[in-house]
Amino acid sequence: GSELSGIKRKLFFWAITVGEKYEPYGANGWWYELQLKIARKLIFSKWKEGLGGRLDLIVNGSAAMQHRLLRIFAAAEIYIMEGYGLTETSPVISVNDLRNNGFRIGTVGHVINNVEVKIAADGEILCKGPNVMMGYYKDAQLTAEAIVDGYFHTGDIGEIDNDGFLKITDRKKEMFKTSGGKYIAPQLLENAMKQSRFIEQIMVIGEGEKMPAAFIQPNFAFIKEWAAIHKIDIGTTTAEISKNPQVIERIQQEVETINEKFGHWEKIKRFELTPDVWSIEGGHLTPTLKLKRKVVKELYKDLYQKIYA
């Protein structure tokens, strides 16, 4: 889209803007649906055509997706249905479904048939059903810890809304307290921050500290485009970009805007940009693209000291 010019470029990014506001089942009203129809005809149909013309639906799991991407691809009639489960639950617990109003962005859908889910007092998701494993092989102690009264303890924190949609808010072991005793759910903050096109990866830190902060890997490709459009010299290497004052200031604006969605104790007060592209090979991410939090913290211990020293 950035490589286009003139009216084609304007139409492309207008369609993206329309897509970012997408809600399923015509919830935005007739005027939005009319704009969506035009965007699909002029722009999004070309996406589907470029992918072979028959790609209608994808099921996604393992890690949370940006809501922005879910909306844009749904607007393009390439629906991404987020689901949830673990290896120990064979592996599905819940999944979004286009049928019968079963698709809600920001959730992992309804619990599947014959499976029971309840939320423990501490917010942990507990699962019971024929999909739950018999136990861990030759490890009775670990099995007894994981399965209590027939319910498998997932280790994930979540909630079920009034319409029965399950929402994952964090990993139980990843939540932490600040020195002031306030609980922080890092994934909630991280998923919100990654809605920004300037932020590729982010890890919220601050256990035992006076405030939450973050390491941020900028979206280097997008920032280069942004800098070219605005005629800003940000350098050529990732190290130069991550230290550029104008880049830092622009990301500060993004962080402050998204911070408004959270309580004052949750807001990210400081951040440092990392010069690397976070990857599986670099040790930042697992093969399923989850953060290796201990590794990332160790990799950037100098930045940690800079934030909290």
Residue 6 has what pLDDT?
Answer: 95
Q: Tens digits of per-residue pLDDT, 64-90?
A: 888 999 999 999 999 999 999 999 999
Residue owning tokens 């998701």: 125
Residue 2 has what pLDDT?
Answer: 82
Looking at the chain, list the stretches that DSSP marks H as alpha helix, in order from N- to C-terminal side.
6-20, 30-39, 45-50, 67-75, 140-146, 186-193, 220-229, 238-243, 245-259, 293-299, 301-308
pLDDT value at 289 more than 90: no
Residue 273: name the closest of 203, 187, 181 by CA: 203
Radius of gyration of the chain (CA): 21
3-state helix, strand, coil in the chain (%, to 5): 40, 20, 40
Given a contact cutoff of 8 angstroms between Cβ atoms, the answer to whether 152 and 139 are in contact is no
Q: Tens digits of per-residue pLDDT, 207-264?
A: 999 999 999 999 999 999 999 999 999 999 999 999 999 999 999 999 999 999 999 9
Given a contact cutoff of 8 angstroms between Cβ atoms, the answer to whether 39 and 75 are in contact is yes
Secondary structure element (H or E) that encloses residue 102, with its range: none
Looking at 161-244, list the stretches that DSSP marks H as alpha helix, in order from N- to C-terminal side.
186-193, 220-229, 238-243
Residue type, 262: F
Residue owning tokens 């070219």: 228
Residues 6+ apart with CB under 8 A from 213: 204, 205, 206, 268, 269, 270, 271, 272, 307, 308
Residue 64 has what pLDDT?
Answer: 83
Strands laid side by side in the 270-273 sheet? 199-205, 213-218, 270-273
Reduced to 3 states (helix: H, G, I; strand: E, B; else coil), residue 101 is: helix
Residue 244 has what pLDDT?
Answer: 97
Structural domains in the chain, CATH included, are 6-79 (no CATH), 80-169 (2.30.38.10), 175-308 (3.30.300.30)
Q: Tens digits of per-residue pLDDT, 11-22?
A: 999 999 999 999
State the Cα–Cα distance between residues 68 and 195, nearest whole angstrom.
6
User: What is this structure's pTM?
Assistant: 0.79
